[in-house]
Amino acid sequence: MSKISEVVQRARAAFNSGRSRPLQFRIQQLEALRRMIKEREKDIAGALAADLHRNEWNAYYEEVVYSLEEIEYTIKHLPEWVLDEPTEKTPQTQQDECYIHSEPMGVALVMGAWNYPFNLTVQPLAGAIAAGNAVIIKPSEVSENVANLLATLIPQYLDKDLYAVINGGIPETTELLKERFDYILYTGSTGVGKIVMTAAAKHLTPVTLELGGKSPCYVDKDCDLDMACRRIAWGKFMNAGQTCVAPDYILCDPSMQNQVVEKLKKAVKDFYGEDAKKSRDYGRIINSRHFQRLMGLIEGQKVACGGTGDAATRYIAPTILTDVDPQSPVMQEEIFGPIMPIVCVRSLEEAIQFINHREKPLALYVFSQNDKVIKKMIAETSSGGVVANDVIVHLSVHSLPFGGVGFSGMGNYHGKHSFIAFSHRRACLVRSLQKNDPLKGRYPPSTAKMTRH
């Protein structure tokens, strides 16, 4: 038996012992996870700096704080979530108990992503623990410093049998996906998402796939452009554009394009100074392969700002492209980097048509002071989530489900939605065995009971 099989079997044996199920145990493990984050905050920040050039402030406020808030919210509300939910009864079940009982799925696999390698691993882990599961954690090997840190820290704070970290690249992940799991949550690319879903299908394992796509950003004429461009620039260039819900491209009227460019440039200068390369707040591309891919997307484009890069440090300047052809390579794939193409459309209807002719994105952003524009955009498009007059912030609302649709993913999590994702909602009906049977009419023979018309 391989080492990976041994780890999975140990987790299953621990789950079958029943010790992950009691509410108090779940809360204790969540409290231990919270303690791990607070006690080892500097180590986490150091690993994020090594992988993604994050400073301590960015590491905390763009990643760690979301994990902490999610854990604290879950601890507070879990005693309420685990209660059985009474349901509406039919006339025939008035004397019965009808309710939904949430039970753990079993052994869950959480596969993290490299762009926010701590939060996108720990946040779903918290949901899986809350639901009473054993969990195998597979951090992304691309952000190797965070992956190694998680492998070191998690056994020091959590139950070693129930919660295990497996590190490695494609061979280890391939072997891991041959194992039978009761639930898989994967965050990453659509291509790998298909591989995960194919592997899960062999065991009929349900999945949540948090993927990506090209999240559009429509900027209406009726708009405070200064505020809009400041918010768009923040969301686009945070983590050097390596955010799954970053605005991927801007749609605006041709008459606005120059203004949008100038206001984006001003915001970039305000955030990162004259030279973003010298800014402590500006990130770096995760590896050389992605650096080369991104520089290739800029080639042949009309560059209004940036466009330069340094292969040695994997730095790419905040870049704005204008008059972008929708058929160009930069518009065919999720950019996942600090490159903002602007595509001109002449109306809201044309923007909606443009969005609907492409795969459904993980997020959609609309900036307008006209409520009718916002409502029309929501009503006539489809995306994982929508934010009007800001970007990304829907992720921070525990009560909102976070997830994709179509090529941007399936299923959702965050807050109670994480608890539901990692639980089986079991339909329960409890009936008395009293002699007076209210449903005696259901028994054969039927001929004596048939009415003639």
Q: Is-contact 293 271, C-beta < 8 A? A: no
Beta bridge partners of 138: 111
- The structure tokens 């903002």 sit at 340
- Residue 128 CB partners (closer than 8 Å, separation 6+): 108, 110, 135, 183, 185, 418, 422
Tokens for 144, please give them.
């190797």
What is the length of the chain? 453
User: What is the CB-side half-sphere exposure of residue 332 using CA atoms within 13 A?
Assistant: 9
**244 noted as active-site residue:** yes
Active-site pick, 179, 210, 223, 252: 210
**428 noted as active-site residue:** no
Tokens for 402, please give them.
């976070």
Active site residues: 210, 244
